[in-house]
Structure 1
Amino acid sequence: MDNRPNPDALLEKVQRDEVQARRGQLKIFFGSCAGVGKTCAMLQAARQQQQKGVDVVVGLLETHGRVETAQLLTGLDLLPTQAVNYQGRLLAEFDLDAALARKPALILVDELAHSNLPSCRHPKRWQDIDELLAAGINVYSTVNVQHLESLNDIVGQITGIRVRETIPDKVFDGADDIVLVDLPPDELIQRLKEGKVYLPEQATRASRNFFRKGNLIALRELALRRTADRVDAQMRYYRQDQAIYHAWQAKERLLVGINCHANSENMVRAAARLAASLRADWLAVYVETPAEQSLTVQQQEQLLKTQKLAQELGAETVSLSGQNRAETLLAYAQTRNVSKLVLGKSHVHGWQRLWKQALATEIHQRANNDIDLYLIGKNTPETKTNLRQQSQQTSPTSATTSLANYGWAAATCSLVTLATAGLIQVFDLANIIMLYLLAVVLITIRLGKGAGIFASFFSVAAFDFFFVPPRLSFTVADTQYVFTFAVMLVVALIISNLTARLRYQADIATYREQRTASLYAIAKELASSLTTESIIDISHEHLDPLFQAKTYLLLPDLTDKIVCTATATTTISNLDSGIAQWVYDHQQAAGIGTNTLPASPLLYLPLKAPMRTRGVLILQPSQAQLLRQPEQQRLLDTFASQIALALERVHFVDVARDALVNMEGERLRNSLLSTISHDLRTPLTSLIAMASLLEKNLNQPKDALEITHYIQQQALRMNQLITNLLDMARLQTGGVTLNRQWHAIEETIGSAIHACQPSLDHHIIRTDVPPELPLVLFDAILIERVLCNLLENACKYTPVQSIITVSARMSEQQLIVSVKDNGAGLPTGMEDKIFAKFTRGDKESAQTGVGLGLAICQAIIDAHHGSIKATNIDTGGACFTFTLPASEPPPLTAEEPEDP
């Protein structure tokens, strides 16, 4: 084997080292969950660097109230944080510009998966760290296993909690160093009870939910496995960089060599049992050599069956091409750091022993001592017979083709014989031999190895019969010609074999070039497509000729039902929409070459994109076996992934376009409403003032006074409507700044009831507010506005003397306020829709209004990071409930007594 370093790999390493030399280094302290000690370990490592004279700065670090963490910060330079105004609150964020200006040798930035506030430069903190690394600054950071994007859904299934803040796996894999900080679950739970992870009130909730022992064990295993995978990848990269080709058995990995014979299934099962007992990864590898270039249909089906069995048993299947099967298997085994090689026991019979060795024998001679070799025996004597029958069976088409090739080979040699027969007096016999050898080369290039071997024997026979004395006879007068015949035959066979290998390599290179060109072409065109129709056209254009099949894309409607159009049924015969829907729903392939409905003449592939399945790709091949080949299936899967990604990109382009149109429309509507409201307010104010003056003139007739009073009431109502429009526009555009102060909710409820007293005169008002409620941080004016809107809403839609109850209570760090009535309640199905703008519960109601009051309530509560909902009471009436986040109020400071 050639163990020289790969020049391309060396060049890639040099380029990677040059880039790495300019960038800073990232060290991640990795743990299974909060509380294992990542931040403390990071601070201890930073203090060690500081003792070595390294310029260390703490960019941002959260102590979470832990005393031991705060103590480790002593003596380290702290970078001032950046105060960011977010919804009326000042929050501390990492100051990236200050860090770049300070440019320390090492900076500590906690919580790698943190999401920055909208006004920051980057949406994610890992992007801030990437900019620091690009500036040549070394960074220490921390992250938990649940924040890795690839494991996010698994952690969610285990714990029942889906973490929103994640980092791409490429950030984790690209880190220069990973430090695993591990802690047994029992010790972590004890730390939680001691208040070393969360504050006591938070620790109680955490122990009942996320920090259950079973969750901690599962998260610990995930963290250990992810770290082990990274270490294994580091080891493989190191072996590749250092040109180390013998295996390092740090982790067991098996490779089973499969072929197109039925005995391969036994090898696969044996390898699966061995891998399971060793808890090792394993690979099933097929090597296509020139000798196996033209397989029969039965052999192709057997190979595909073996590969599917390996995949079902958990193997990674790989197909390779090479001149020598043993050399190719060993080279790939060393690349993948394989420790054990599983092969079938094979024998070489008869005269083949002169130049051919059994595969296991050849690998044993070539392999180093660092790979263990396992031989799997054949089960029954019938296997040999079956293998012989398989190798002898050919399809009618291939048999006809072989006979035609042999006929063309004989005709070519005969043509050389006729051409040189008239030149026997001029040409020397050696020149005639060269012409025959040239014919053998041409035949092999054009017709293949079998025809070339046949031409070798035919040429020797023709040369003996027509040109060697005595001519027109196979008798040889001079025995030296026997040696000439032997050399001629050997040279012809060698040339035929070498030419066949060159042709095989050229065919493989051409196939790979065509595949690469096809992938590049479709990827390029899909990347520039902006509509679903263009994606469908591009798919037809590339897939139909490449796979020799009719193809069609079926896409779902808004209800996730596959739409089977008339064009689809015309293009693809025997199309079954039920199968297509099943493939879409279950995200599994069906039809030709699959385990689901394999008798179907079509292949149904789900178009799986990262977010969801985007449709179904259907192929109707001209020959079913074309889609059974493993390489074709892999290529088809790649094309399907490209199409799915393009469909998802176009979908989100449409979503973004619709969102932009809606935003612009909303902005225009708010601007228009604001302008109209401002223009109407001045004449309305004058109208209210004039009506008020007229109402004070008691000398008017009674009818005139009633009309004046009605005008004043309607003007006031319109003025309230304009106020609502303006407030809604200000709330949606962020023009309202919350003035949060510590207030008692009972005072705000009392103010709201007093403000609405004219409307409440004909209703019974009851309150249920415990006196021991703590102070809550909110904007009293806006919350009073919410209560007023809810009270007025209850007055409008309930009969006279109805009971309206206002209650408040505390529950799990939040204040819950409810306004109930005993009226008719909300129409069925309107509970969630009632808070939309310009929505009224009963459109046919005689009550005036445009449906903005509840929308304003929701906007105000959302600005307070609370929630609001509407429900119907079983005994009759409606209940509107809103919540406000509550925290511990600041301690009251005692006033200093005045000096006498």
Structure 2
Amino acid sequence: MSDATQADALLADLPKGTRGRLKVFLGAAPGVGKTYSMLQAAQTQQRMGTDVRVAVAETHGRAETEAMLVGLPQQAQRKLEYRGVVMREMDLDAILAQPPTLVLVDELAHSNAPGSRHNKRWQDVQELLDAGIDVYTTVNVQHLESLNDRVRDITGIQVRETLPDWVLQEADEILLIDLPTRELLERLREGKVYVPEQARAAIDAFFSQTNLTALRELAMQTAAARVDAELTRRYRLQGLDAPALRGRLLVGIDGDAQAEPLVRHACRVAERRHLPWSVVHVDTGKPRNEQRLALLQAAQQLAERLGGEVVGLRGGECAKTLLEHARERRASLILVGRSRAGFWRRWFGRGLAERLMLKGQGLEISALDCAPERTVRLRRVSRPLIWRDYLQAVVAAVLAALVALGLSQVLELPNISLLFLAAVLVVAVRSSLGPALACAGCSFLAYNFLFIPPTLTLSIARQEDVLTLLFFLLMAALTGNLASRQRQQLVALRETQAQTTALLELSSKLTAATDRQAILSAAMQQFSLWQELDVSLLARGKDDVWKVEAGSQRLLTDQERAAADWAWQHSQPAGLGTDTLPGGRWWWWPLEGEDGPLALLGISPKNGAPLASAQRRLIAALGQPLAQALSRAQLAQDLEAARLHGQTEELRSALLASVSHDLRTPLTAMRGSIDSLLTLGEQIPAADRHELLEGTRDEAERLDRYIQNLLDMTRLGHGALKLARDWVAPCDIVSSALQRLRLVLAPLKVELSMGDDLPLLYVHAALIEQALINVLENAARFSPAGGRLHLVVQADGQEIRIAVSDQGPGIPEHERDKIFDMFYTAARGDRGGQGTGLGLAICQGMLGAHGGRVSVSEGLEGRGATLTLHIPLSPQPVMEDESV
């Protein structure tokens, strides 16, 4: 360990002056017992003589939690009024004026009410800590800022209240409060977390067993990371490296037949030992043929599917690089395959496992010997003989000899050899090892023939010249080999950089894509950069017919279609340049998901030649994030379909519940009238019988209107509603709505203001009337008894506005867009009321069918809310002159 690292640890461990200590009770979800545990710990501290004060403790009506508050002094909270609603917040100034030793502040991620000193409660806690006050607080793992995206991916819900991770990292102590998922769900069902109605909605939306299990794992990982960091810091104080208590499994693979068996074995070992695991490949710059590269890539993809981490490293010596990485990741076990050592290594060297065991003190080294029948003999890398490079080697040796002859009069014999070494280096840099060795051999012969006495012969008269020539040949071979390896590494780095750049570009485009078509379009934008290739993305329909979703629309021959079918069925590449149906113009690469192929990527070089190996590797690498994006889009589509199905069922039930009262009222009245007529008969005066019959008829007509409106709403939801428009006066719609709601509006002071000469509306009168009724009912439900309700009807040249204002609690700005969502009901203070949350959603749909809308603004005298119906005007009809 470096001195700087130890110094940093010592500085971090220095006392923080008079700053208070922060203890965080961390949980996976509401209801696990964080507040209860915090209060229990506070009770213990109070019994020990600590001055404890409760600033905020959210019991949520839980009896066992409220019981823990008994005996603990509580700080009175501040009252803040915002938009007519009284909110309670922690009184920070009162606590600082008479500071206790320990303060309890529940729900650390809470957002303070407008008008508070700080926007967030954690900022209040920081001020308390700076004042030297110890703080106990609680927080759920989903409120951590770094986990916000992961929580949204897990639960489908965007958590709005978050706190920076550094607040938790600077805590002096973190206590994980855990509760098994089944017990938490049982507490929810029993109403110990929320009231029963909220509990059922919470279980359906957020508190599912899958979500809770994932959140529980995140909480455990967060706590474990904190413990691990604390352990590392403690060891650094002593100048030591922390031991790998949990450990990690590293499996080293290469492009051979042992790679996939190694990965599967590593997965099983990691599961048995409960270890995280990584698959590591060390690229030493050695050339590999296409078969080895395909095996390596297949093993890496298998590791990703099995949940392992894939790591690629570069180094000159495989064992050394693996050990360095193992110590960086604090691994405890390295798994490699048994080396198939040849004659040279058996006599002069060691295999990878032997070298690891020689240098890997403190690590467990395992070597897996795969069964012989599971391994296949791989072809050696074939290096094509390029005559141009060898010709270049001969020319370089000849040129070096000519230059040496010209300078032989001014240079001594040892210096002349440097010219030949320079020629060898130039050839090695421009070609490969073979031509460099050929140049070294030619230079050796030229040096001997032209400069070693006797000259112009290959014989050597002096023994010391033999040693000189041998050293020259050795130096030429070594320098040529070194230069050749450097060139190979440079080529590999350029290839890797190009692949990484392409992957980053494609990933950034796929990140912005939200559906399958957008993903395919983003992929085609990336592939279109290759002007020499035709690219096509195919999908297979239920009738097994290929459909071109993006890219080239060229017709496929029978053989090309057969190659595409084979690639789809076997999840392996086929077509041009492969061993399977290579006669066509297309090379097919299946984009795999968990349940099979998602699409088929086709590449066709315009020159008709097979793709180069580097191009195939790059396309295969790009296909992996593309397949993942398609899987994500497919999953999102399935989830959306499931959500819509569930919402449809919920809408059906809620719609019946929402109209049950309106349907029951006329039926009750009709039944009462009919029972009276049947029971009393002729005893009822004729006038009264006539009145009862008229009432029955009116209620029947009312019931008929309700049912018709319900059918219209249903058609509206399915887009099949045909509006029966007619010209109607706005005053008639308003009067009819007020008459139907006379009993509902009776406790309120209704004020009506209508403009003069209002134009006619060309609308479906029943729907507009029902929309107005929904708004009036909403205002009446949230208005206090005896409150004012103001109804204003105005018109301009484009629309008529019917505004309904009340004196209720109002609607916060951040909720004004949500109140028109189905099943959304605000439950704040006295606003929590009956209803399914469909009224305003249906109202919005009715107005939208007419091209109108509903807007929300402030209510009367700064209180309540105003909902305004905006109904567009049509050209007014031409009235006939009745005097003619």
Alpha-carbon offset, residue 180 of structure 1: 1.5
Of the three residues 328, 342, 345, the one matched with 2:338 is 345
3-state SS of paired residue (1:286): strand
Q: Which residue of 1 aligns with 2:699?
A: 804
Distance 1:309 1:765, change over 3 A: same
Are 2:378 and 1:462 equivalent residues in the alignment? Answer: no
Q: Does 1:80 align with 2:66?
A: no
Pick which of 173-182 and 542-551 moved more.
542-551
Q: Deviations over 1:755-786 (max 9, x none)?
A: xxxxx9xx887699xxxxxxxxxxxxxxxxxx
- 1:69/1:511 Cα in 2 relative to 1: closer, same or farther (>3 Å)? farther
Partner of 2:703: 821
The verdict on how the C-alpha distance between 1:446 and 1:633 changes in structure 2, with shifts beyond 3 A counting, is same
For the residues of structure 2 that align with 1:276 and 1:209, how far apart are their CA atoms? 32
2:473 pairs, out of 489, 508, 511, with 489
Cα separation, 1, equivalents of 2:316 and 2:59: 60
CA distance in structure 1 between the aligned counterparts of 2:531 and 2:671, rounded to whole angstroms: 78
Residue 141 of structure 1 aligns to a residue whose secondary structure is: strand
Report the CA distance between 1:475 and its aligned residue: 3.0
Match runs of 1:283-302 below 5 Å: 283-290=278-285, 292=286, 294-302=287-295
Deviates more, 1:224-233 or 1:164-173: 164-173
Map 1:392-471 onto structure 2 (within 5 A): 393-394=381-382, 398-401=383-386, 403-471=387-455
TM normalised by structure 2 equals 0.58
Name 1:179's counterpart in structure 2: 175
2: CA distance, partners of 1:55 / 1:578: 78
Indicate if the aligned counterparts of 1:56 and 1:106 stay in contact, CA closer than 8 A: yes
Q: CA deviation at 1:573?
A: 11
Aligned to 1:229: 221
1:259 to 227, 232, 254: 254
Equivalent in the alignment of 2:836: 867
Give, in whole Å, the separation in 2 of the partners of 1:336 and 1:455.
Answer: 45
- Determine if contact 2:535/2:551 at 8 Å carries over to the other structure: no
SS at match of 1:851: helix
CA deviations 1:70-122 (Å, max 9, x no partner) are 54372243542534447xxx3636469979998989875544677x69x8599
Q: Which residue of 1 aligns with 2:34?
A: 38
Name the SS for the 1:832 alignment partner.
Answer: helix
Q: 1:855 is matched with which residue?
A: 771
How far is 1:30 from its partner? 3.1
1:364 equivalent in structure 2: 357
**Which residues of 2 match residues 607-756 of structure 1 at below 5 A?**
620=603, 622=605, 624=611
SS at structure 2 position matched to 1:333: helix
Contact 1:96-1:128 at 8 Å conserved across structures: no
Match of 2:462 in 1: 478
What residue identity is the alignment partner of 1:620? I
What is the DSSP-based 3-state SS (H/G/I as helix, E as strand, rest coil) of the residue aligned with 1:399? coil
Structure 2 CA distance for aligned equivalents of residues 636 and 100 of structure 1: 60
In structure 2, the CA distance between the partners of 1:66 and 1:574, relative to structure 1 (3 Å rule), is farther
Query: For residue 653 of structure 1, what is the aligned residue in structure 2?
Result: none
Could you tell me how far apart the structure 2 residues matched to 1:37 and 1:414 are?
86
The alignment yields a C-alpha RMSD, in angstroms, of 6.7
Distance in 2 separating the partners of 1:150 and 1:440? 57
Which moved further from structure 2: 187-196 or 478-487? 187-196
- Give yes or no for the alignment of 1:333 onto 2:326: yes
Question: C-alpha distance in 2, partners of 1:444/1:173?
Answer: 57
- Aligned amino acid, residue 266 of structure 1: P
Identify if the C-alpha distance between structure 1 residues 56 and 496 changes in structure 2 by more than 3 Å, giving closer, same or farther. Answer: farther
- Which whole-Å deviations, capped at 9, do the CAs of 1:336-366 have from their partners, x for residues lacking one? 2221111111154444568753211221122
* CA-CA distance at 1:412 after TM superposition: 1.6
CA apart distance, 1:39: 0.5
Determine the C-alpha separation between the residues in 1 that align with 2:374 and 2:188: 65
Counterpart of 2:275 in structure 1 is 280
The one-letter amino acid of 1:270's match is: H
Q: Letter of the aligned partner of 2:455 in structure 1?
A: R
Residue 830 (str. 1) matches residue 712 (str. 2): yes
Distance change (3 Å), C-alpha of 1:24 and 1:500: farther
1:601 aligns with 2:587: yes
Whichever residue aligns with residue 431 of structure 1, its letter is: N
Q: Measured at CA, do residues 525 and 606 of structure 1 come closer, stay the same or move farther in structure 2, by a change above 3 Å? A: same
Report the secondary structure of 1:284's partner residue: strand
The one-letter code sitting in structure 2 at the alignment partner of 1:821 is L
Tell me the CA shift for residue 335 of structure 1: 2.3
Structure 2 match to 1:569: 553
Counterpart of 2:218, as a letter, is R
Q: Secondary structure at the match of 1:287?
A: strand
| Aligned AA (1:41) | S
Query: Whole-Å Cα distance in 2 between the matches of residues 540 and 245 of structure 1?
Result: 53
In the TM superposition, what whole-angstrom CA distance separates every residue of 1:713-744 from its partner, at most 9, and x where no partner exists?
Answer: xxxxxxxxxxxxxxxxxxxxxxxxxxxxxxxx
Q: Is the 8 A contact 1:82 1:93 kept in 2?
A: yes
Distance apart, 1:210 and its partner CA: 10
Check conservation: 1:522, 1:538, Cα contact below 8 A. Answer: yes
Distance 1:525 1:155 in 2: 23
Q: Deviation digits for residues 171-201 of structure 1, max 9, x if unmatched?
A: 59965554221346797799789986567x6
Q: State the shift of 1:477 in Å.
A: 1.8
> Relative to structure 1, is the Cα distance of residues 207 and 224 closer, same or farther in structure 2, using a 3 angstrom cutoff?
closer
Give the Å deviation of 1:438: 1.5
Distance 2:175 2:30 in 1: 15
Name the SS of the counterpart of 1:310 in structure 2.
Answer: helix
Contact (CA 8 Å) 1:149, 1:169: kept in 2 or not? no
What is aligned with 2:372?
Answer: 380
Partner in structure 2 of residue 499 of structure 1: 483
Q: What secondary structure sits across from 1:305 in the alignment?
A: helix
Residues 865 and 368 from structure 1, CA distance in 2 versus in 1: closer, same or farther, beyond 3 angstroms? farther
Instruction: Tell me what 1:785 maps to.
Output: none
Q: SS of the residue aligned with 1:256?
A: strand
State the AA in 2 paired with 1:390: R
Flag the 1:469–1:825 CA change in 2: closer, same or farther, 3 A: same
- Measure the CA separation in 1 of the matches of 2:143 and 2:303: 31
Following the alignment from structure 2 to structure 1, what is the Cα–Cα distance between the partners of residues 45 and 550? 71
* Aligned mate of 2:379, from 386, 390, 395: 390
TM-score (norm 1): 0.57
Measured at CA, do residues 866 and 202 of structure 1 come closer, stay the same or move farther in structure 2, by a change above 3 Å?
Answer: closer
Cα pair distance change 1:639/1:12, threshold 3 Å: farther
Alignment of 1:16-95 (within 5 A): 28-45=24-41, 58-59=55-56, 61-69=58-66, 71-72=68-69, 74-85=72-83, 90=85, 92=87, 94=89
CA distance in structure 2 between the partners assigned to 1:549 and 1:239 by the alignment: 55
Q: Is the 8 A contact 2:591 2:623 kept in 1?
A: no
Match of 1:143?
140
What residue ranges of structure 2 are gaps of 5+ in the alignment? 130-134, 540-545, 634-659, 676-692, 729-762, 779-823, 826-832, 840-884
Contact kept? 1:113, 1:166, Cα under 8 Å = no
How many residues align structurally? 675
Structure 1 residue 434 displacement after superposition: 1.0
- Return the alpha-carbon distance in structure 2 between the equivalents of residues 55 and 574 of structure 1: 83
Secondary structure in structure 1 of the residue aligned to 2:372: coil
- Cα pair distance change 1:319/1:418, threshold 3 Å: same
| Matched-pair identity in % | 22
Aligned equivalents of 1:570 and 1:11: distance in 2?
67
- The answer to whether residue 297 in structure 2 is matched with residue 304 in structure 1 is yes
Which amino acid letter does the alignment assign opposite residue 82 of structure 1? L
SS at match of 1:75: coil
Tell me by how many angstroms 1:375 deviates. Answer: 0.9
Q: Residue 194 and residue 33 in structure 1: after superposition, are their counterparts in 2 closer, same or farther (change >3 A)? A: same
Q: Is the 8 A contact 2:253 2:259 kept in 1?
A: yes
Alpha-carbon distance between aligned partners in 2 of 1:24 and 1:620, rounded to the nearest angstrom = 65
